[in-house]
């Protein structure tokens, strides 16, 4: 999964939720990425483990 994720990839949490855009990938062994999405017209952001995400189409 980590190989298929890059900045600009759209993802969703494995448990569901909004479709998010990857905006930053960690360069260390933490395998985390920053994502941004809109909810109720407001820009939200969060950091997630790549393994907790699924690439959307």
Q: Give the number of domains in the chain.
A: 1
- Residues 18/35, Cβ–Cβ less than 8 Å: no
How much is the pLDDT for 50?
94
Classify residue 29 by burial, with Cβ atoms within 10 Å: 0-12, 13-18, 19+.
Answer: exposed
For residue 8 the two structure tokens come to: 């600009």
**Which candidate, 7, 18, 15, 1, places its Cα nearest to that of 55?**
1
* Domain span including residue 42: 2-55
Assign residue 32 the CATH number of its domain: 2.30.30
Length of the chain: 57
With 0.85 as the threshold, say if the pTM is over it.
Answer: yes
pLDDT per residue as tens digits for the range 12-38: 999 999 999 999 999 888 899 999 999
> Cβ(12)–Cβ(53) under 8 Å?
yes
């Amino acid at each position: 999964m980590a190989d298929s994720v890059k900045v600009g990839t759209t993802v969703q949490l494995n448990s569901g939720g909004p479709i998010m855009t990857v905006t930053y990938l960690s360069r260390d062994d933490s395998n985390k990425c920053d994502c941004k999405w809109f909810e109720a017209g407001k820009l939200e952001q969060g950091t997630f483990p790549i393994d907790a995400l699924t690439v959307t189409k």
